Amino acid sequence: MDEPRTDYLMLIGGEWTDGQEEPFSLVSPVDGQPWAVLPSASQADVAAAVAAARKAFDTGGWPRTPPARRARLLRRLGELISERADDLARLQVRENGKVLREVLAQTKGLTDYCNYFAGLAETAGGHTIPSSAPDMFVYTVREPVGVVAAVTPWNSPLALLMWKLCPALAMGNTMVVKPSEVTPASTLVLGEMIEAAGFPPGVVNIVTGDGRVGAWLTADDRIDKIAFTGSTHVGRQIAAAAAAHLTRISLELGGKSPNIVFADADLDRAVEGVVAGIFAAAGQTCLAGSRVLIAQEIYEDFAARLVQRAARIRLGHPLDPDTEMGPLSCRAQYDKVQHYVTVALDEGATLLTGGRHPSGAQFRDGLFMEPTVFGKVRNDMRIAQEEVFGPVVCLIPFTDEDEAIAIGNASIYGLAAGVWTRDIARAHRVCARLRAGTVWINTYRRTSYAVPFGGVRQSGLGRENGAAAVEEYTEVKSVWIDSGSGIADPFNPRA
């Protein structure tokens, strides 16, 4: 076994530095072996990173950098990512075990995010507003929020960082990034590319470590906005910390998304869509379609088809091009998913397939789990209400359209939903009544740099991607200009 890599450093104020706390190891989810040692930031390190971002914003000139130059830097970053996409993808696979073919496609797509938000950097602006007051010229401008704290998860470390970094930098903000302690290495390598692209020192800072680092960062009163992707539990803690200083927040949190299959659906397509919605990335996605609602008249047929397809999913090493599902990303998540299998069985759900660690020498030391399907689940069961974040799906029958919608909405979450039907009128009716930030019809798990993404209820606040993301990283300033020659009545503001 190779010795773990030990030369990773944090980026603070344009300098690469060790942390002042005890370093920590990254462990492969494939074989359980340590492969890297990472620096762990102290509270003083976090404070220094915030100070560097604050300086770059307040006196460093980044907010006043012409939009065209910010756009050029983003495009250059996109070029660098494209040149090293394979390396970045393989590094993320080593971190979290997601299959290479998915991570590589995702990583290559990050260049599109850079180019899209480069375009918005050059075009996003304010409005002129007709005023009811005479001789007044009124307009608005969009200005950067300030220093952004970005706290990112382990399931798609670079993609979910770029959802924040691209619009924030495009609009002239500075940043302190805290990646998950499971997947920090890829973020630090991206930091090298940010530096190589020509971004000024302090515009992007990266600190690594466990949850204490994130807590120190989000509690700092010099932070102007927090952008977080992760669990609803941690999101509540961040919202509480932000409330102490009225810090702006955007939160992309958990989900328990319904994937609704009506009797008239193309069942072959629906099976593949359900499989993609829950077993891709080993179910470790916030938008996973973890509740499959099936029309009663096709329930047995569809359940049998899904079980057969799930049993054929190819588990294996995530770098193998034939692998369809790799391991879970870390020991804590593996233990959590196994716990929920036990909970589901205790609640009386029927295990139709999976639920175990696969047999075979190639799986022995890894965090692998068979694709798991539970049948005849009631929507009030914990397995149907709590986010498992793993390759576990619940099958819930429904009798009619109204019941499907009622079950779909009976959750604290509202991130996404899927609808499978050939009836376009039904598709529109159901879409209009589902409480979710995204609804897919006859497809699932599609996202784009140009399409807003986010949730309602306890799935979060705000939107990422698309032009809507610009609003999350800017403040609107209104400007009034008196163009008249007369003297206004000081006691009548409408004069």
CATH number of the CATH domain containing 418: 3.40.309.10
CA distances, 169 to each of 11, 77, 83, 107, 343 (Å): 17, 12, 21, 19, 44
What is the length of the chain? 495
pLDDT in tens, 5-21: 889 999 999 999 999 89
Residues 179 and 287 in one domain: no
Task: Tell me whether residue 483 is in a domain.
Answer: no
Specify whether the CB–CB gap between 19 and 10 falls below 8 A.
yes
pLDDT for residue 304: 98
244 and 300 in a single domain? The answer is no
In three-state secondary structure terms, 286 is: coil
* Element containing residue 227 per DSSP (H, E): strand 225-229
- Residue at 372 is within a domain: yes
Residues 249 and 197 in one domain: yes
Residue 103 lies in a domain: yes
Q: Is 320 exposed, middle or buried (0-12, 13-18, 19+ CB in 10 A)?
A: middle
Q: What is the CATH number of the domain that holds 114?
A: 3.40.605.10
Element (H, E) at 408: helix 401-409
Residue 1 has pLDDT above 80, yes or no: no
**Residues 418, 469 share a domain:** no
Q: How confident is the model at residue 134 (pLDDT cuts 50, 70, 90)?
A: confident
Shared-domain flag, residues 146 and 201: yes
Is residue 300 located within the same domain as residue 433? Answer: yes
More confident residue, 132 or 209: 209
Same domain flag for 306 and 347: yes
Catalytic residues, by residue number, are: 252, 286
* pLDDT value for 11: 98
Q: From residue 59, how far is each of 13, 63, 64, 432 by CA, in Å?
A: 13, 9, 10, 48
What total of structural domains would you count in the chain? Answer: 2
Contact 409, 398 (CB under 8 A): no
Asked whether residue 495 is domain-assigned, the answer is no
Domain assignment present for 392: yes
Which residues form the domain of 340?
258-441
What is the reported pLDDT for 332?
96
Q: 212 and 104: one domain?
A: yes
At 284 the pLDDT is 97
Task: Please indicate, yes or no, if residue 494 is contained in any of the structural domains.
Answer: no
Whether 2 shows a pLDDT value over 80: the answer reads no
| pTM, entire model | 0.95
Average pLDDT over residues 201-225: 98
CA distance 258 to 459: 13
Residue 5 lies in a domain: no
Kindly state whether residues 214 and 292 are assigned to the same domain: no
What the block records as the tokens of 246 is 């009225």
| Mean per-residue pLDDT, 192-206 | 98
